[in-house]
A and B are shown apart, each in its own frame.
Chain A
């Protein structure tokens, strides 16, 4: 195999097709924006929260779709509103009733998911349902790319700004409250960021897979480093790499982009689980220290 063929295989699809380039840039933006959020979600034991949220945005997106068809602003605004409503409703249900948050989240997101699929089925075709559930790289047009890029930039800035109070709120909430640290505000800003980033991922990855680029690279990165900052950088890198490999897979194997990208990220996760510095193989072979 000559160098030329390798180049054609690895870069050809992106050189030849504008929609592949746009999808790739969108994946890079998603990686930068949502990977750090994923690391914090893991740290705060909220991995399943993001999963629930990604389904919760579906009925809103569906309503947007019913009103305006495959219109980016309509679907995005609908999705973000629905996501925020479910996040707040689940939080309020937990606070008001002594239920644990995971139970109310599971209830709300199942209702939301079922409602979303029902809504789309009333008007759309089976193909529309597939697109909304599993994503379509063809959906990533110029406005979508701008949206994803803006969300990623904004997320990075806001995460940098709320980094300290957000982490302390997770570590010792009573202390933060005792020094009037306003932890709840930062928590809600963070929840908002989660929803907005899932909405960005929704375009390329679909409702069922949107959380993939957020959580899998973050989970993989934690097998390599204990430091949060390096985990965030590594997670972003792995997410970008997964986006690239997933798009190639999607292109050559002719499968939906969402599952392809998430499979790539899943591979990165499994490799990290096996050979990472805190992974399985080293865990089995580690000798104890002298002191």
Chain B
């Protein structure tokens, strides 16, 4: 089980957001956010729907460009970042087996054309054991339950063996036992000094398991130790953020003052 922790992520490198704005059609989804994810930190991103949580993750992965400001990733190659998208974007009818799904985690090394090899297959099997899917290797993913599919997706992240792990609503629609098992994996990654960032909705779960939290409502509400971030005042501040965007919004000129957050 430990063979996957091959490269210890002790020098993961910091991820800094410098006055970051990410936008869709010029409307900001993430608006003037600054702060840093310390190497090896375990951070939950919380906030209402439409708060830009997924956009922030995508920007960190490099899937969305920064409309303004910048993301600095010290010493981090794209290969060092593993990203687990929301399940909604996956075509579950695909005739792909559980083992094949886990093997996709080798993409950085195998590429579109290279082989994976016996060691790679062994690593994928080990990852499937670690997520509790032993014996499911040859099952088509269409036959899996939502929870089993998410376990398989976590196995793919395990195989990726990345220094930074970004998870977009990883526990959506899962039962308590699956969440507990997958949380165990998160703790293990944290123990291996990997930087883990997860978008979550369950405040209790964040309080119990996440040292750091980032409260986002397009603008940064708070960023720091979870118990200081998940407060009633911050919740109220987030609620004041208009959920729908303003079609007639004027051009933003707030670049002179920025919202700063801290992560220990």
Does A4 sit within 8 A of B, measured CB to CB? no
Instruction: Name the residue among A162, A171, A186, A226 with the largest chain B CB count within 10 angstroms.
Output: A171
Pair A181/B107 contact, Cβ less than 8 Å: yes
Contacting chain A: which of B77-85, B176-184, B205-213, B238-246?
B77-85
Min CB distance B196 to A, Å, is 16
Q: In chain A between 159 and 185, which residues have their CB closer than 8 angstroms to a CB of chain B?
A: 161-162, 164-165, 167-168, 170-182
Question: B94: nearest residue on chain A (CB-CB)?
Answer: A171
Q: Does the CB pair A175–B112 fall under 8 Å?
A: no
Other-chain contact of A165, B79, B85, B112, B140 (Cβ < 8 Å)? B112
Q: Taking the nearest CB of chain B, how far is it from the CB of A274, in angstroms?
A: 22
Find out whether the CB atom of B95 lies under 8 angstroms from the CB atom of A226: yes
Neighbouring A residues of B78 by C-beta, 8 Å: 179-180
Please tell me the size bucket of the interface on B.
20 to 34
Whether A170 contacts B94 by the Cβ 8 Å rule is yes
B95 touches A172 (CB 8 A): no
- Whether the Cβ atoms of A175 and B95 lie closer than 8 Å is no
Interface residue SS majority, chain B? mixed
Contact of B145 with A by CB under 8 A:
no
Contact at A228–B95, with CB atoms within 8 Å?
yes
Q: Please tell me if A48 contacts chain B, counting CB pairs below 8 Å.
A: no
Partner of A174, one of B63, B113, B156: B63
A interface residues, how many (CB within 8 angstroms)? 24
- Which residues 255-278 of A sit at the B interface, judged by CB distance below 8 A? none
**What separation, in Å, do the CA atoms of A180 and B95 have in the docked complex?**
23
B90 CB within 8 Å of chain A: yes
Q: Which residues of the other chain, A, contact B82 by a CB distance below 8 angstroms?
A: 178
Closest chain A residue to B79, Cβ basis: A179
A93 partner residues in chain B, CB cutoff 8 A: none
- Contact across chains for A179 and B107 when beta carbons are under 8 A apart: yes
CB nearest neighbor in A for B106: A179
* A227 B95 Cβ-Cβ under 8 A: yes
CB distance from B77 to the nearest CB of A (A): 10
Q: Which of B96, B107, B108 has the most chain A CB atoms inside 10 A of its CB?
A: B107
The answer to whether the Cβ of B61 comes within 8 Å of any Cβ in the partner chain is yes
Judge whether B95 and A178 touch: CB under 8 Å: no
Task: Tell yes or no: B91 within 8 A of A by CB.
Answer: yes
Which residues of A line the B interface, CB within 8 A? 43, 161-162, 164-165, 167-168, 170-182, 186, 226-228
